[in-house]
Amino acid sequence: MIFRAVEDADLIQQAARGNVESFNLLVSRWEKRVYNYLLRITGNREDALDLAQDVFLKAYQNLRKLDDAGRFAPWLYRIAHNEAYSLFRKRKPETAVDNLEAEAGSAGIAVGGRSVFPIELSLAVAGALDRLTPDQREAVVLKIYQGFKFEEMSEILECPVSTVKSRLYTALDLLKADLAPISARGVS
Amino acid sequence: MNCSPFDLKDYFLKELTDPQQRQVEAHVLTCSACREELDRLRLTGVALCSLRDEEIPQRIGFVSDPVFERSWWAAFWASPARLGFASAAMLSVAILVLGLTHAPAVFSSRTFYSRVEVDRRIQAAVSAAESRQEQKTTQLVHELVERADREHNSRLIAENQAERLQEQNYQLKLGDGAYVTPGAEQGGPR
């Protein structure tokens, strides 16, 4: 008897034929990643969970439209991106951005002049991420935390690779200015 | 700004090919400014990675609901067996159309014969054919015999006439006082 790991492609194929159990297995593999992506771009756990459920429901309903199972991840994150921005549009866009900036201000902590503990570093990172624009933050989340390539990010965000790189490079410069000194103290 | 052959951010983000990465690594060994810049990027990366993924507070799961299930037609159309079904359906339609447009063959009882009757009819047909052939052969032989007789008679008449002409010539030459033997008229001994 030969045992073989069930690939995502197998599950996608079965789920596309209406097999709910296969889709549930697929969800269990991706829900944590999608939830954390949504959490980092919305900054709200409830919103992230609600959006994650909507994302997987839409994915199930549209799974047959996915031509290439190998492109499942960018396709799924594209749905997640659209759902998140749909939520932002439902609320006043300026409010969403303002809230994020206000949260960023409150999350920022003074760490100068002394070594930092991991929890403090995490809070500093959260604050630095919050100070980015939503586009820059999403680019960082997709690249650093989700590990997508520029081409895949371009597909998810529906913008040219040059735009993706521009957002990411600007964000990295800002994060570097904020975090590199803190991280250096934490390491030392 | 840095003097690296490739962007240090691309190196940090792992977007360079292996040879390009090696070039950057060789460069930062000799360039302190680029080395410091790369260190800052790495420290930033370390800081960013301190933010761990959270566990999802509630697992997501779906139950089979007829609302989201495909109709029987959609399920059939998505199945690989649809080609087989389509072929069988087309074949059935073709047979049906053929059956409706072409009258079926009717066999009357008169067209059926017993084995003895069939043998008798075959024997009669063979005898008739043999009889016709024999008649033709007899007629042909008879014609050939007649033609041969006619040719033979003609040849005999012709030979008889030739002999009579020679006799007459011989008699005429004797009357002139010259002796000519038959067959030695041209260049023969005198």
- HEC per residue, B67-97: CCCCCHHHHHHHCCCHHHHHHHHHHHHHHHH
Which tokens in the block code for residue A17?
């034929």
How far is B67 from chain A, CA to nearest CA, in Å?
11
Q: Percent of chain B, pLDDT > 70?
A: 81
Please tell me the predicted confidence (pLDDT) of residue A184.
72
Please tell me the predicted confidence (pLDDT) of residue B83.
78
Provide, as residue numbers in chain B, all residues whose Cβ is less than 8 Å from the Cβ of A64.
Answer: 78
Measured distance CA(B58)–CA(B63) in Å, rounded:
16
How far is A159 from chain B, CA to nearest CA, in Å?
18
Cα separations in angstroms, A26 against A15, A56, A59: 9, 10, 11
- Closest alpha carbon within chain B to A141: B48
Please tell me the predicted confidence (pLDDT) of residue A110.
32
CB contact under 8 A, B60 and A122: no
Work out the pLDDT band at B141, boundaries 50, 70, 90.
Answer: very high
Q: Is the pLDDT assigned to residue B187 strictly greater than 50?
A: no
Q: Percent of chain B, pLDDT > 90?
A: 51
Single out the residue of A108, A11, A27, A135 nearest to residue A66, CA to CA. A11
Measured distance CA(B134)–CA(B143) in Å, rounded:
14
Provide, as residue numbers in chain A, all residues whose Cβ is less than 8 Å from the Cβ of B63.
Answer: 20
Q: Which of A117-126, B28-37, B71-80 has the lowest mean pLDDT?
A: B71-80
pLDDT digits (tens, 9 = 90+) for B7-40: 999 999 999 999 999 999 999 999 999 999 999 9
Measured distance CA(B14)–CA(A142) in Å, rounded:
14
Measured distance CA(B111)–CA(B103) in Å, rounded:
19
pLDDT digits (tens, 9 = 90+) for B100-112: 887 666 655 566 7
Q: What is the mean pLDDT of residues B55-66?
A: 84
Measured distance CA(B148)–CA(B155) in Å, rounded:
11
Provide, as residue numbers in chain B, all residues whose Cβ is less than 8 Å from the Cβ of A140.
Answer: 48
Which ipTM was obtained for this model?
A: 0.76
- Cβ–Cβ contact B80 with A under 8 A: no
Measured distance CA(A135)–CA(A170) in Å, rounded:
11
Measured distance CA(A81)–CA(A54) in Å, rounded:
12
Which amino acid, B128? A
Measured distance CA(A103)–CA(A137) in Å, rounded:
14
Measured distance CA(A168)–CA(B48) in Å, rounded:
14
Please tell me the predicted confidence (pLDDT) of residue B181.
53
Q: Which of A36-40, B28-32, B97-101 has the lowest mean pLDDT?
A: B97-101
Nearest-CB residue to B68 (from A56, A60, A176): A60
Nearest-CB residue to B47 (from A52, A57, A183): A183
Please tell me the predicted confidence (pLDDT) of residue B29.
94
Q: What is the mean pLDDT of residues A29-53?
A: 94
- Cβ–Cβ contact B18 with A under 8 A: no
How far is B102 from chain A, CA to nearest CA, in Å?
44
Task: For residue A187, give every residue at least 6 positions away whose Cβ sits within 8 Å of its Cβ, in sequence order, or none.
Answer: B43, B46
- Cβ–Cβ contact B82 with A under 8 A: no
Contact present, A164 and A157 (Cβ < 8 Å): yes
Q: Is the pLDDT assigned to residue B138 strictly greater than 90?
A: yes
Q: Is the pLDDT assigned to residue B80 strictly greater than 90?
A: no
- Cβ–Cβ contact B9 with A under 8 A: yes
In chain B, which among 23-62 make CB contacts under 8 A with chain A?
A: 40-41, 43-62
Give pTM, 2 decimals.
0.60
**Of residues B108 and A57, which shows the higher confidence score?**
A57
Mean pLDDT over the full length of chain A: 84
